[in-house]
Structure 1
Amino acid sequence: MTHVVVIGAGQAGASCVAKLRAEGFDGQITLIGAEPVPPYQRPPLSKAYLLGDMAEERLYLRPEAFYAEHDITLRLNTRVFEIARGEKAIVLSGGEILNYDELVLTTGSYPRSLPNNIGGNLKGVFTVRDLADADAMAPAFTAGKRLLVIGGGYIGLEAAAVATKLGLQVAVVEMADRILQRVAAPETSDYFRELHRSHGVDIREGVGLVRLTGEDHVAGAELTDGTRLDIDFAVVGVGIIPATGLADMVGLSGDNGIITDDYGRTSDPHIWAAGDCATCNFEGQTIRLESVGNAIDQAEVVAVNIAGGEQPYVPKPWFWSDQYDCKLQIAGLNLGYTDVYVRKGDGDVVSHWYYNKDRLIAVDAMNDARNYMIGKRLIEAGKSPAPALITDPATDMKGLLKG
């Protein structure tokens, strides 16, 4: 009987094993997770869960009983230390050896942390990646406390929004010239800067961290502009790193993740990869997509192919972020954009349309779900309306889909 072992019980791992059964795969399936809880959603950790609006059980992607009901062996609180490719086996914590016929790496990613020599090891310095992180920092989110967010990306800004809602004093420092510089156009940065400042957040751009200070627990921060801040705790949101340790040991990864072909296979025909840890091909470029949508879609393609299919993975990037009462939805990738066109709606409804010369490549939609969906469909269909139509309030946007 064919045995599929999946290492990493996050969104990608859970999607892979469920899809295997949905495809009629009747072999043995083992899903291995390092955490003590079944696979769960990560995006709410820095939003609804941290706010106390979502209980832990609601985070779970499926009830724990689902795995037993579908004859999936779920090994929680278990770490994998080695892949023995020649023997088609893995070595688990405690020295247990588990053989596989097909191995899937859905090991995800982990947050970048601050070096110890600038205070990264002080108590009260948190990163946000898993349930334990969220649980560890939750008690600090108490009204009146002073929070420093290091990094003005989506994770940092989401944490800032939650803290502000809970009555904390929040400062955000971003070393780059503007928040969201790595992922969005200046127009989107401007929107979220104004949103946060309107809620009282102290946004400091072009300012880096020299060090965090304190004896045992963080108490202050020294910034590159000479400013000293008194703080009660800090959240570090300076990006993530693909978790490629196992793949590195057996030569399956490159500079930016585990290398896969169009079907999700690594250079070893019996080892596959999906999710944050894995590369994919997008319009001739080898990239890594850090999103829930990619984790699900790429993992399901891997499952289809293990079950006997030969389906290439065609990424359809989409992302979202919730901050205060604003829902940001992103379709496409803005890599290589040359122009951004703004479509305004009523109130705080606005969308930013990215073009590479005359080709529509991405849309940022703020509180504008309708135009997000239209933009997503246009991009997937390869349609690029004239920018003058996008910016004209009189344009029937849905009609652009027929053009």
Structure 2
Amino acid sequence: MTQNSQNTQQNARTTAGVVIVGGGQAGLQAAASLRDGGFTGPVTIVAEEAGQPYQRPPLSKDYLAVSEDGSTPSPLPLRGPAFFAEQDITLLSGTAATAVDREAKTVTLADGTVLPYGSLVFATGARNRELPTPGIELPGIHGLRTLQDAEQLGAALDTARDVVVVGAGFIGLEFAAAALARGARVTVLEFAPRPMGRALTPLLGDWFADAHRQRGLDLRLGEGIASFEAGDDGRVGFAISTTGGRYPADLVVAGVGVQPNDQLAAAAGLETANGIVVDAALRTADPDVYAIGDCANFPSERAGGPFRLESVQNATDHARHVAAVILGEDAPYRALPWFWSTQGPYRLQMANIVRADDETVVVGDPDPANPKFSVFCFRDGVLAAVESVNHPGDHLSARKILAAGIQITREEALAEGFSLQAAFKERS
């Protein structure tokens, strides 16, 4: 293709504009990055949830907390009220995209509106995985994904005495810690042998199990959910585990993971496999269609293959990258993954993706009463990932070191007086 034909195609895409399906972190960042990069065509965000887009991570922790005056925090907007007008971005909230015609390059909405596009970005996120459990329909059993979910749970915690959480992942443990702080008795059922098993090293997973138990959480590992039973009032009253345990429950939260929202892309004939399949530029097999954030299955150098990642970092970095690609940049996505979770007094931060066979070294003080430590993860004797608890300095330095490709050996890390902060300053 000649340079002139490439420019003609680019001009046509700009004239038709960009339609972004999804009004979460990824969708809004993509729109903002397009404008920051000088994109002058129409930008439209289609958001199924009504109202102004908001930050989701606080819903399972900060939003459920109660201040000393009894008030609850307000949801944090992703952008200020003037953002859309100032940036000339059209936000269509409270309506869903129902069909994509890739040949005609249009998106049809539930209200009948048909939007043309030059480039289409799927930022559709994920939905809670459903539990096929007898009794799951009983009142008092909740998921936690949206602001409405958090509002209902916050109100329920005012009177709840016995809370059962199904699943000891990030969301489950964040909610469990918040419920415990609100004075409830909390039982967590987790079928796996340790909490957060897919994300943490076994060492740190075991540490969190002990730490949460010391704070009063009844954490049941190797014990999943078999059924729910109603109480005398017709609402959920008991959770029955896979080992036969019968736990009182006037409030249940199911946190057993999520599924990518890839149905619309699949219906449009795009490849899906645990998400919308994209290449290293975050582009689908259709050169004018992209997928970013929780819904995207992308080739990850860090994970060593196809990967789908649910994190704010991934959503925002994907969004910035896809905006640059739409604007003409040709480069693979290589951002370093990082994550965080706040569970009661424990601030967990992770730099890069850990593996179960990583060699681990604990640096700092892991005393659950006042922890401040990191778990250094080594592969072939070189630092590959870092997990930190209440140690933001280590986390920030680890991100810089790993993103820059600076090699830290196990021997260096174990030397007296070693610090990640000093190592980065010396070698950067």
In which range does the TM-score fall when normalised by the shorter chain? over 0.9
The CA deviation at 1:393 is 5.3
Instruction: State the TM-score, normalizing by the size of structure 2.
Output: 0.90
Q: How does 1:22-37 map to 2 (within 5 A)?
A: 22-37=36-51
Task: Find the aligned partners of 1:293 and 1:174 in 2 and give their Cα distance.
Answer: 27
1:192 aligns with 2:208: yes
Report the equivalent of 2:315. 295
Task: Find the aligned partners of 1:26 and 1:338 in 2 and give their Cα distance.
Answer: 47
Kept after mapping to 1: 8 A contact 2:398/2:420 = no
Task: Find the aligned partners of 2:153 and 2:174 in 1 and give their Cα distance.
Answer: 14
1:38 aligns with 2:52: yes
Report the equivalent of 1:248. 266
Q: Which runs of 5+ in 2 are unaligned?
A: 1-14
Q: 225, 231, 234: which is aligned to 2:252?
A: 234
Deviations 1:334-373 (A, max 9, x none): 1364311111248411111112232322111001111112
RMSD: 1.7
Instruction: State the TM-score, normalizing by the size of structure 1.
Output: 0.95
Q: How does 1:45-56 map to 2 (within 5 A)?
A: 45-52=59-66, 55-56=73-74
Letter of the aligned partner of 1:42 in structure 2? R
Report the equivalent of 1:65. 82
Kept after mapping to 2: 8 A contact 1:344/1:391 = no
Kept after mapping to 2: 8 A contact 1:124/1:217 = yes
Task: Find the aligned partners of 2:249 and 2:283 in 1 and give their Cα distance.
Answer: 47
Q: How many residues align?
A: 401
Report the equivalent of 1:381. 404
Task: Find the aligned partners of 2:192 and 2:152 in 1 and give their Cα distance.
Answer: 28
Kept after mapping to 1: 8 A contact 2:125/2:260 = yes
List structure 1 runs of 4+ shifted beyond 6 angstroms.
none
Task: Find the aligned partners of 1:396 and 1:124 in 2 and give their Cα distance.
Answer: 48
Kept after mapping to 2: 8 A contact 1:342/1:391 = no
Task: Find the aligned partners of 2:82 and 2:399 in 1 and give their Cα distance.
Answer: 36
Q: Which runs of 5+ in 1 are unaligned?
A: none
Q: How does 1:2-401 map to 2 (within 5 A)?
A: 2-52=16-66, 55-57=73-75, 59-115=76-132, 117-142=133-158, 145-214=161-230, 216-283=234-301, 284-335=304-355, 337-345=357-365, 347-392=370-415, 394-401=417-424
Task: Find the aligned partners of 1:326 and 1:60 in 2 and give their Cα distance.
Answer: 25
C-alpha distance 397-84 of structure 1, shift in aligned 2 (>3 A): closer
Task: Find the aligned partners of 1:190 and 1:392 in 2 and give their Cα distance.
Answer: 26
Q: Secondary structure at the match of 2:340?
A: strand
Kept after mapping to 2: 8 A contact 1:143/1:166 = no
Letter of the aligned partner of 1:351 in structure 2? S
The CA deviation at 1:383 is 3.0
Kept after mapping to 2: 8 A contact 1:336/1:356 = no
Kept after mapping to 2: 8 A contact 1:15/1:300 = yes
Q: Secondary structure at the match of 2:216?
A: coil
C-alpha distance 319-306 of structure 1, shift in aligned 2 (>3 A): same
